[in-house]
Amino acid sequence: MKSNLDARYKAPDFDSKIADWLGSFEDDMWGGPPRIFGIGISVEGVKVVYRIIEASGMQETMPLVLFLNSIGLVDTGATVRGLDGVFSMTE
């Protein structure tokens, strides 16, 4: 699983949980088509995607989505070019 932070934005406090989880996730040898998700936050009232996570196949996608939900992030349904989903804290 790959992840990139956008250095233009300060990561929110909950991001340490995401970084820890990504660091402990063991890659599965069974890859699949990549699914690309963004993690969004509000910066000065504007919603931005500050982290992009690329999961390979359902073996990585489902654990990722379940983890994001477990820390309070939900799929916003937002349509952002190149992303299969954008997750954010509920408001």
- pLDDT number for residue 65: 92
34 vs 71: which has the higher pLDDT: 71
Residues 6+ apart with CB under 8 A from 59: 28, 30, 32
Q: Is the dihedral of CA 46, 66, 6, 23 positive or negative?
A: positive
- pLDDT number for residue 17: 94
pLDDT, tens digit (0-9, with 9 covering 90-100), for 32-66? 677 778 887 766 566 888 899 988 888 888 899 99
The mean per-residue pLDDT over the stretch 56-84 comes to: 86
Amino acid at 40: G
Q: Per the structure block, which two tokens stand in for 77?
A: 């349904």
Q: Name the residue ranges covered by the structural domains of the chain.
A: 2-89
Q: Is the pLDDT of residue 84 over 90?
A: no
